[in-house]
Amino acid sequence: MMTQDQPEPSLEQAKESGERNPWLTIGIFGALGFEFVGFMIVGALVGTWIDRRWDTQPFGLIVTMLLMMLAVGWHIVMITRRLHRNGDPS
């Protein structure tokens, strides 16, 4: 004999009760990985272009990669602060 499970609470009900959807959190942190890769690709392309344009190899690449790493780090800190503060990623 099968029993029916209770339906999942709506987003509004979860917010009211203070529950946090673990899949939403996992999705946000998974997206951060893709953002990190995207930032690094853009940094590598811009750095390579700068190096070719002004013949500054490898300094343009190094500087842009460091700037992109700082930008990604700042972005991760801001996302985690927002999640920690109110449990709502939006």
Residue 47 lies in a domain: yes
Question: pTM higher than 0.85 for the full model?
Answer: no
Residue type, position 38, single letter: G
Residue 72 lies in a domain: yes
Residue 68 lies in a domain: yes
Residue 49 lies in a domain: yes
Q: Reply yes or no on whether the pLDDT at 6 is more than 80.
A: no
Query: pLDDT digits over 36-75, tens only?
Result: 999 999 999 999 999 999 999 999 999 999 999 999 999 9
Residue type, position 78, single letter: M
Confidence of residue 1 (pLDDT cuts 50, 70, 90): very low
What is the number of domains present in the chain? Answer: 1
Of the chain, the end-to-end C-alpha distance in Å amounts to 41
Continuous H helices in 5-58: 11-17, 22-54
Residue 75 host element (H or E) = helix 59-86
- Percentage of the chain with pLDDT > 70? 72
Q: Reply yes or no on whether the pLDDT at 89 is more than 60.
A: no
Residue 57 lies in a domain: yes
Instruction: Give the integer Cα–Cα distance in Å for 12 and 39.
Output: 34
Residue 29 lies in a domain: no
Residue 55 lies in a domain: yes
Residue 32 lies in a domain: no
Range of the domain at 55: 40-84
